[in-house]
């Protein structure tokens, strides 16, 4: 069993983000920054998670849904003070290591976390800083090493000398610590508040000061340099958030293409992390796919299509379609301008044409709903043909009722099926009918007024 844990700092207000919620809950490709940070930790050798909340703490805990432990930092007095709020959590893992991550740095990856842990344990470090080399290090704390590459200290931008400001290796704000050593160093840090007054004499405690305490006690402290400089990136405003979205979006698209998915143009295409797409499927522009969606092989999705938490089969084409919590099987053509709503199942070889809405219904093999129809709360058999303008009238003002359509049924244009009603196998309905009674097998139902012609009516008027 792993003795390693993680503490994620998510207390900041993030005023520049201009959000009504917490900054760490703003999303990067459908997942909050905080959730992405947690994912990176859990995919490495970490089992227990504690999130330090502060601003909008109730909203943060609601998103976490009691899956992880939380502690409150009621006063924002620095990163060292934030970690100290999780003292009891860290103490329960006293013989292990703790990973400290920032909840607003969502591009941390498992390779970096695991690589830093390997170095941390093999070197018997009390602390290991995760660092990165970037082209423009302005504003970041610099990693200062000696001539042999040994870690010496972190120096912040405002305190850096001219030579130190030329250093491109910077502190990511992520660390591995031995739990016991971290607790002892934090106790030392908080026992001397007068030593840690910053600027306007406000006492604040930061994790780089913990490193200094450990080194003064001759403990090993090192720095692991990641090969992925994106891990240091965070977002303080919506412009920076867009940059994070673009990095993650292209990373996901590249992974899909390397797995055999065809994306001839990436314009407007956003695919979630958990989406699974089969080989030779083509994704066309302005298509959004998210949730636990699974798409088969050799299908065409898009353009202008949105799919949420749905299953799409093989050799299926969705063109200008919205599909939410539904199943579309093999060899199906759908669109354009179709809305497939939750609990709909569209079986093999079905054709759904333009301006059709399907909700909570089963469409049998080989059936056709060519255009301008609403099919709700319906069980439809195979090889049916539904004329344009057909409506299943499923709501009586109080309750929803189901319509049952048998196999090989022909429904004429502009038919209204007032549920509950059943059409038997091989039955027909006349165009323009409003049906309120069941139709037997092999029968034709006509439910409309007889046509009346009044000769010269317009002249007499």
Pairing of the two strands 97-102 and 5-10: parallel
Encoding tokens for residue 294? 């699974």
CA distance 138 to 160: 11
Range with lowest mean pLDDT among 38-47, 102-111, 272-281, 397-406:
38-47
Lowest mean pLDDT among 20-24, 190-194, 223-227, 349-353: 190-194
Tell me what pLDDT residue 452 has.
87
Report the candidate in 292, 258, 260 with the shortest Cα–Cα distance to residue 276: 292
Provide DSSP, 17-81.
Answer: G--SS-GGGSEETTEEHHHHHHHHHHTSS--EEEEEEBTBHHHHHHHHTTSSEEEE-SS---HHH
The predicted structure's pLDDT at residue 118 = 95
Helix, strand, coil percentages (3-state) for the chain, rounded to 5, are: 25, 30, 45
Taking the CA atoms of residue 357, residue 358, residue 363 and residue 367 in that order, the dihedral angle to the nearest 10 degrees is 0
- Of 93, 317, 371, 426, the active-site residue reads 371
To which H or E segment does residue 91 belong? helix 87-91
Three-class DSSP category at 184:
helix
Residue 95 in this model has a pLDDT that exceeds 80: yes
- Output 195 or 57, whichever has higher pLDDT: 57
Position 1 scores a pLDDT of: 42
Q: In angstroms, rounded to a whole number, what is the distance separating the alpha carbons of residues 405 and 211? A: 72
Confidence at 195, pLDDT banded by 50, 70, 90: low
Confidence of residue 199 (pLDDT cuts 50, 70, 90): low
The DSSP-derived string for 395-433 is B-SS-B--EEE-TT-EE-TT-EEESSEEE-TT-EE-TT-
| pLDDT for residue 290 is more than 70 | yes
pLDDT digit string, tens, across residues 214-273? 999 999 999 999 999 999 999 999 999 999 999 999 999 999 999 999 999 999 999 999
> Band of the pLDDT at 2, cuts 50, 70, 90?
low
The residues, any chain, with a CB within 8 Å of residue 88's CB and separated by 6 or more, are none
Q: Which CATH number is 238-445's, of 3.40.50.300, 2.160.10.10, 2.40.30.10, 3.30.479.10? A: 2.160.10.10
Rounded distance, CA 13 to CA 356, Å? 45
Q: How confident is the model at residue 451 (pLDDT cuts 50, 70, 90)?
A: confident
In terms of pLDDT, which residue wins out, 13 or 73?
A: 73
Residue 260 to residues 33, 256, 319, Cα–Cα distance (Å): 28, 7, 21
* Cα dihedral 209→214→217→220 (10° resolution): -140
Examine the residue annotation and report whether 371 is marked as an active-site residue of this protein. Answer: yes
**pLDDT category, 299, cuts 50, 70, 90?**
very high
- Residue pair 170/132 in contact (Cβ under 8 Å)? The answer is yes
Tokens of 290: 């998210």
**pLDDT tens track for 202-217:** 788 899 999 999 999 9
Helices (H), 265-329: none
The predicted model gives 131-139 an average pLDDT of 93
Instruction: Dig out the tokens for 373 from the structure.
Output: 């129809």
Both tokens of residue 29? 């490709």
The CATH number of the structural domain formed by 5-232 is 3.90.550.10
* Domain locations in the chain as residue ranges: 5-232, 238-445
pLDDT in tens, 319-356: 999 999 999 999 999 999 999 999 999 999 999 999 99
Percent of the chain with pLDDT over 70: 98
DSSP state for residue 337 in the 8-state scheme: S
Give the three-class secondary structure for 163: coil
pLDDT at 202: 72
Bridge partners of residue 357, in order along the sequence: 339, 374
Q: 380-438 pLDDT, tens per residue?
A: 999 999 999 999 999 999 999 999 999 999 999 999 999 999 999 999 999 999 999 99
Give the bridge partners for 328, in sequence order.
Answer: 312, 346
pLDDT band at 111 (very low <50, low <70, confident <90, very high): very high
Q: How many CA atoms lie within 13 A of 309 on its CB side?
A: 7
Containing H/E element for 181?
helix 179-190
If you average pLDDT over every residue of the chain, what do you get?
94
């Amino acid at each position: 069993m792993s003795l390693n844990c993680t503490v994620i700092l998510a207390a900041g207000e993030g005023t520049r983000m201009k959000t009504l919620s917490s900054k760490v809950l703003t999303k990067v490709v459908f997942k909050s920054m905080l959730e992405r940070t947690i994912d990176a930790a859990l995919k490495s050798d970490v089992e227990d998670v504690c999130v330090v909340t502060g601003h909008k703490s109730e909203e943060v805990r609601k998103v976490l849904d009691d899956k992880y432990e939380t502690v409150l930092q009621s006063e924002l007095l620095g990163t060292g003070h934030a970690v100290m709020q999780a003292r009891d959590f860290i103490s329960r893992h006293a013989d292990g290591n703790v990973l400290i991550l920032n909840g607003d740095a969502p591009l941390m990856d498992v390779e970096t976390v695991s690589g830093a842990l390997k170095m941390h344990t093999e070197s018997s470090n009390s602390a290991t800083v995760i660092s990165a080399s970037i082209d423009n290090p302005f504003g970041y704390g610099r990693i200062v090493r000696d001539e042999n590459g040994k870690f010496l200290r972190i120096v912040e931008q405002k305190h850096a000398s001219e030579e130190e400001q030329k250093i491109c290796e910077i502190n990511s704000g992520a660390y591995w610590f031995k739990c016991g050593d971290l607790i002892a160093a934090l106790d030392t840090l908080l026992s001397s508040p007068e030593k840690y007054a910053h600027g306007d004499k406000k006492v604040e405690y930061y994790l780089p000061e913990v490193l200094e305490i450990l080194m003064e006690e001759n403990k090993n402290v090192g720095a692991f340099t990641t090969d992925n400089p994106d891990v240091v990136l965070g977002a303080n405003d919506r412009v920076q958030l867009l940059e994070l979205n673009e990095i993650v979006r292209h990373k996901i698209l590249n992974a899909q293409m390397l797995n055999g998915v065809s994306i001839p143009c990436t314009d407007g295409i956003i695919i979630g992390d958990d989406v699974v797409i089969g080989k030779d499927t083509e994704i066309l522009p302005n298509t959004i796919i998210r949730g636990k969606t699974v798409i088969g092989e050799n299908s065409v999705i898009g353009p202008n299509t949105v799919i949420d938490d749905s299953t799409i089969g093989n050799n299926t084409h969705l063109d200008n379609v919205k599909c939410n919590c539904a199943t579309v099987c093999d060899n199906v053509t759908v669109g354009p301008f179709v809305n497939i709503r939750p609990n709909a199942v569209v079986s093999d070889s079905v054709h759904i044409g333009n301006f059709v809405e399907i909700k909570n219904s089963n469409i049998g093999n080989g059936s056709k709903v060519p255009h301008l129809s609403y099919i709700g709360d319906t069980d439809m058999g195979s090889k049916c043909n539904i004329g344009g303008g057909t409506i299943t009238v499923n709501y009586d003002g109080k309750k929803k009722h189901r319509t049952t359509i048998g196999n090989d049924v022909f429904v004429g244009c502009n038919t209204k099926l007032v549920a509950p009603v059943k059409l038997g196998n091989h039955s027909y309905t006349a165009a323009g009918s409003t049906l309120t009674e069941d139709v037997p097998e092999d029968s034709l139902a006509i439910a409309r007024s007889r046509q009346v012609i009044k000769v010269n009516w317009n002249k007499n008027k």
